[in-house]
Amino acid sequence: MTERVEGHGGELALAALRAHGVREMFTLSGGHVFPLYDAAHKAGFPLYDVRHEQSAVFAAEAVAKLNRRPGLAVLTAGPGVTNGISGLTSAFFNASPVLVLGGRAPQFRWGSGSLQEMDHLPLVAPVTKHAETVFSADDIPRAVSAALTTALTPHRGPVFLDLPLEAVFSVGDTELSEVAPPAPVEADPEEVARAAALIAAAGRPVIIAGSDVYAGDAVDALRAAAEALQVPVFTNGMGRGALPPTHPLSFAKARRVALRNADVVVVVGTPLDFRLAFGDFGDAKVVHVVDAPSQRATHVQPAASPAGDLRLVLTAFADHPGDRADHADWVAELRVAEDAAKARDAEEMAAETDPIRPARVYGELRRVLAPDAITIGDGGDFVSYAGKYLEPAQPGTWLDPGPYGCLGTGMGYAMGARVSHPDRQVCVLMGDGAAGFSLMDVESLVRQQLPVVIVVGNNGIWGLEKHPMRAMYGYDVAADLQPGLRYDHVVEALGGAGELVGKAADLAPALDRAFASGVPYLVNVLTDPADAYPRSSNLA
Ligand SMILES: Cc1ncc(C[n+]2csc(CCOP(=O)(O)OP(=O)(O)O)c2C)c(N)n1
Ligand SMILES: [Mg+2]
């Protein structure tokens, strides 16, 4: 079935965007993209604007990550697009289906020196799955539709189109084809069977499930596979919360013990990168389950690496017909380690120190956060602690920057989360250094009535860099910030509210006020600059 669409380039683009389930636009104004605004305005299509283009792309990425549907950022030509490149790159590393529509100087006088005349494609090509200039209005729906299909096809990722001025401003008409979601690609059944047999026969298997498990809607299948084969599950990225923390096979703290003693490590839907010791787990055999052949590791040789739709692979694991080794002792051994670590954490989270240690902040947050609260980490050590102490209770609630590790996602991710979930708590955990990248976008949140709570771990330093530099050189440079800076006053000046917290006992009432306030609210917690997150490798 096809539908006839007509209008200017912006209207043609919007028709194709809507057909693919795009529900909102994030942008920062620029004349090159006015027709897209005109289309949105006339159609009552939600449009949110920001104070820096990177926030627009991060907001689109948050929508994509949380909802498993495409996120859209519209960026004006030249500097609008270049300011969005860190966001695009993050989306590329995170396999997030984001479409960036860029404005572009007119084609008919290309080379004459128009304002912002610059070819974006060579810049964005390495960090997108597809990048294309669409030279005529008539061609826009086809290009938008094809780009979104590419973005949503595993392995997912961002795509970029730019629209020369005369293409987006002129009127066209064309056929819009009906949209079908990409068909699931089945992994090689023999490879799947080999992987399942390895897991079933293992004495001490472990599963580590990452973002693509959530993105591929394979959370239920993961649980079925873990239960059928009785394998302990650890998670990272958007995989966090895939099994509720109360599930007997759900683990978080015993990871080191698990990976040291495992004989088969099954990594699903996340790369064998620095977060997972580059896939080197000593003598353990590695099963790497990926959603597309392009994601197979090239730096290690897994014992099996099925590549295809994760839901189908995990369901096949659950249905494995052969014998299964008993893992009860192994699961019990890990439970002992997990419980011991939890008891240590509980002590740290209750500690009454002066200055406040980050663990206590998370102890208090655990009390006020609802199970479906969206938590967003943007910072260094303060966010490492968040990863350690916060346990997402359900999937699709935890947003970290992912393996690109880009500071500055905070307010963009918060906007995307708030727009996606108007009724949930949205809480940004932010380093004071990270705050510098996006705090001005509190103004965008205030103006567009998008309340969020921001908890700043204010240690007055770029902690994750200062401590390692001191350890390495015995001194540090470029690692200090103003101690005690009133980030809460910044938010007040922008129309929100906030307060300073210096004593552990004042944390709880401050957080209660923040979540009750209904406006962007910053709780500025003075934390101990001497506190350093313990790491095996101190470089990040
Ligand atoms: C855009 C960007 N610039 C620089 C870095 C390097 N970096 C990683 S963590 C960090 C320090 C973060 O400091 P802060 O947000 O105050 O958190 P803290 O470690 O003090 O808790 C820096 C500078 C980065 N990851 N991203
Ligand atoms: Mg800091």
Q: In angstroms, what is the span from residue 422 Cα to ligand 1's centroid? A: 29
Atom in ligand 1 nearest the alpha carbon of residue 462: 13
Q: Is 459 in the pocket of ligand 1 (CB under 6 A)?
A: yes
- Nearest protein Cα to ligand 1, atom 13: 462
Q: Which of 454, 459, 464 to mutate to test the pocket of ligand 1 (most atoms within 8 A of CB)?
A: 464
Atom in ligand 1 nearest the alpha carbon of residue 358: 21
Atom in ligand 1 nearest the alpha carbon of residue 457: 21
Euclidean distance between CA atoms 181 and 267, whole angstroms: 26
Mean pLDDT for the stretch of residues 311-330 = 94
Atom in ligand 1 nearest the alpha carbon of residue 481: 16
Q: Is 434 in the pocket of ligand 1 (CB under 6 A)?
A: yes
Q: In angstroms, what is the span from residue 380 Cα to ligand 1's centroid? A: 5
Q: Which of 400, 462, 476 to mutate to test the pocket of ligand 1 (most atoms within 8 A of CB)?
A: 462
The CB-side HSE value for 271 (13 A sphere, CA atoms) comes to: 18
Taking CA atoms, 105 is separated from 68, 101, 185, 516, in Å, by 33, 13, 39, 47
Q: With a cut of 50, say whether residue 225 has pLDDT above it.
A: yes
Q: In angstroms, what is the span from residue 26 Cα to ligand 2's centroid? A: 29
Q: In angstroms, what is the span from residue 247 Cα to ligand 1's centroid? A: 34
Q: With a cut of 90, say whether residue 322 has pLDDT above it.
A: no
Least confident span in 93-97, 114-118, 469-473, 532-536: 532-536
Query: Whose atoms come closest to the Cα of 358: which ligand?
Result: 1
Atom in ligand 1 nearest the alpha carbon of residue 406: 26
pLDDT computed for residue 540 by the predictor: 36
Give pLDDT tens digits for 157-177.
999 999 999 999 999 999 998
Give residue 536's pLDDT band: very low, low, confident or very high (50, 70, 90): low
Euclidean distance between CA atoms 33 and 25, whole angstroms: 12
What residues sit around ligand 2, an ion, with C-beta below 5 angstroms? 431-433, 459, 463
352 burial (CB, 10 Å; 0-12 / 13-18 / 19+) is: exposed
Q: Is 463 in the pocket of ligand 1 (CB under 6 A)?
A: yes
Mean pLDDT for the stretch of residues 454-480 = 98
Among residues 307, 285, 280, the alpha carbon closest in space to that of 294 is found at 307
Atom in ligand 1 nearest the alpha carbon of residue 385: 21
Q: In angstroms, what is the span from residue 430 Cα to ligand 2's centroid? A: 8
CA 32 to chain centroid, in Å, comes to 29
- Nearest protein Cα to ligand 1, atom 12: 380
Atom in ligand 1 nearest the alpha carbon of residue 432: 16
Q: Which of 93, 465, 527 to mutate to test the pocket of ligand 1 (most atoms within 8 A of CB)?
A: 465
Atom in ligand 1 nearest the alpha carbon of residue 86: 1
Q: Is 269 in the pocket of ligand 1 (CB under 6 A)?
A: no
- Nearest protein Cα to ligand 1, atom 3: 407
Query: Whose atoms come closest to the Cα of 386: which ligand?
Result: 1
Give pLDDT tens digits for 44-70.
999 999 999 999 999 999 999 999 999
Query: Whose atoms come closest to the Cα of 384: which ligand?
Result: 1
Query: Sheet containing 521-526: which strands, arranged edge to edge?
Result: 398-399, 374-378, 426-431, 453-458, 521-526, 497-501
**Average pLDDT, rounded, for the chain:** 96
pLDDT computed for residue 538 by the predictor: 35
Q: In angstroms, what is the span from residue 255 Cα to ligand 1's centroid? A: 25
Cα-Cα-Cα-Cα dihedral sign, residues 31, 36, 42, 48: negative
Give residue 496's pLDDT band: very low, low, confident or very high (50, 70, 90): very high
Q: With a cut of 90, say whether residue 396 has pLDDT above it.
A: yes
Helices (H), 119-205: 121-124, 140-152, 165-169, 189-201
Give residue 395's pLDDT band: very low, low, confident or very high (50, 70, 90): very high
- Nearest protein Cα to ligand 1, atom 23: 462
Mean pLDDT for the stretch of residues 433-458 = 98
Mention every residue, 6+ apart, whose C-beta is less than 8 A from residue 503.
354, 356
Euclidean distance between CA atoms 448 and 20, whole angstroms: 25
Q: With a cut of 70, say whether residue 211 has pLDDT above it.
A: yes
pLDDT computed for residue 181 by the predictor: 87
Mention every residue, 6+ apart, whose C-beta is less than 8 A from residue 7.
15, 39, 171, 172, 173
Helix (H, G, I), strand (E, B) or coil at 218: coil
Mean pLDDT for the stretch of residues 478-486 = 98
Helix (H, G, I), strand (E, B) or coil at 210: coil
pLDDT computed for residue 2 by the predictor: 86
The percent of residues above 70 in pLDDT, for the chain, comes to 99
Q: Is 456 in the pocket of ligand 1 (CB under 6 A)?
A: no
Q: Is 87 in the pocket of ligand 1 (CB under 6 A)?
A: no
The percent of residues above 90 in pLDDT, for the chain, comes to 96
Q: Is 461 in the pocket of ligand 1 (CB under 6 A)?
A: yes
Q: Is 532 in the pocket of ligand 1 (CB under 6 A)?
A: no
pLDDT computed for residue 537 by the predictor: 45
Q: Is 50 in the pocket of ligand 1 (CB under 6 A)?
A: no
Q: In angstroms, what is the span from residue 466 Cα to ligand 2's centroid? A: 9
Q: Is 408 in the pocket of ligand 1 (CB under 6 A)?
A: yes
Q: Is 406 in the pocket of ligand 1 (CB under 6 A)?
A: yes
pLDDT computed for residue 177 by the predictor: 86
